[in-house]
Amino acid sequence: MEDFKLINCNCKFVNGPLIEVIDSHSPVYIIEFYEKLGNEWGLVYTDNEFKPFRWFKYLRKFRTKWMIKVWGMENELPILLFQHTYDENNKKVLLVFDSPVFETHLKWVYMSENFAKQFNCDVMVSSKFSDRLKNIYSGNLTIINDKINIDDYCITNRVYASYNIGRHDIQSNTWDFWESKGIFENHAKYYDSWHHPDNWIKFNDEDLFKNILGI
């Protein structure tokens, strides 16, 4: 089924997938978050009592093939009113670099350029070394200083998705599903934390970049 929109909803993926329902079609809605698992869609999260004129952002931060659905009520029966599948094609994606090493940022800039070409998206990068990078890099990416307010920047520039590229603490950013020390959101696939699908302890900088963006 192709995506469609019968009610007013906003959907974006800035530091996590977000759905906002701005419509009084139903007094209560059902929202569902799915992720692509092979050729199937696995249900990750659902809320059966979602009120109109509210928003919800799911905790996961790394890049995922999402599908978000919103159900309402008509004639006392549920009806699917909105469906959006993650697709950054021809959209703006912000990558926020989090590393104290300039050489790492430089590697990630060129990897970001390849990512933009592979997925046909307009990639922007945020870096504490933005001035130095601009003196070396001559490609098409937009490079911004990390002192800029990211939330305001994403709103002003209509950013579709953003991802933080760095080594985040794992132990404080997970759930102990079934005493696994990890996350089993749909009882099918295991993730180490909300920021990383896998433990980054043995990753080099290139592997870390690829793991967070799922490439």
Read off the pLDDT of residues 139-179 as tens digits, 9 standing for 90 and up.
999 999 988 898 899 999 999 999 999 998 866 555 554 44
Written as one letter, the residue type at 38 is: G
Total structural domains in the chain?
2
Written as one letter, the residue type at 83 is: Q
Same domain, residue pair 106 and 199 = yes
Rounded CA gap, 148 and 117, in Å?
Answer: 25
Rounded CA gap, 142 and 153, in Å?
Answer: 13
**Domain of residue 65, residue span:** 4-85
Same domain, residue pair 65 and 120 = no
User: How large a percentage of the chain has pLDDT more than 90?
Assistant: 74
Whether 26 and 53 have beta carbons less than 8 Å apart is answered as: no
Three-state secondary-structure class, residue 39: coil
Average model confidence (pLDDT) across the chain: 91
Q: What is the pLDDT of residue 179?
A: 47
Written as one letter, the residue type at 183 is: I
Rounded CA gap, 29 and 25, in Å?
Answer: 9
Quick check: 32 pLDDT over 80? yes
Three-state secondary-structure class, residue 86: coil
Same domain, residue pair 112 and 193 = yes
Rounded CA gap, 24 and 126, in Å?
Answer: 38
pLDDT in tens, 56-95: 999 899 999 999 999 999 988 999 999 999 999 999 999 9
Rounded CA gap, 138 and 32, in Å?
Answer: 42
Considering Cα of 156, then 99, then 66, then 170, what sign does the dihedral take?
negative
Same domain, residue pair 66 and 45 = yes
User: What's the burial of 109, exposed, middle or buried (CB within 10 Å: 0-12/13-18/19+)?
Assistant: buried
Q: What is the pLDDT of residue 178?
A: 41
Same domain, residue pair 109 and 196 = yes
Same domain, residue pair 96 and 49 = no
Last residue of a domain, one of 85, 118, 147: 85
Same domain, residue pair 181 and 133 = yes
Same domain, residue pair 104 and 208 = yes
Query: Which CATH number do you get for residue 74?
Result: 2.60.40
Q: What is the value of pTM for the model shown?
A: 0.90
Same domain, residue pair 103 and 201 = yes
Same domain, residue pair 137 and 172 = yes
Which residue blocks in 19-138 are alpha helix, DSSP H?
Answer: 102-119, 130-136
Rounded CA gap, 47 and 158, in Å?
Answer: 27
DSSP 160-215: -EEEEEE---STTS---GGGSSSB-TTSS--BS-SS-SS--TT--HHHHHHHHHT-
Same domain, residue pair 201 and 161 = yes
Cα angle for residues 103, 109, 112 (degrees, 5° grid): 140
Last residue of a domain, one of 85, 101, 122: 85
Same domain, residue pair 113 and 187 = yes
Last residue of a domain, one of 85, 101, 125: 85
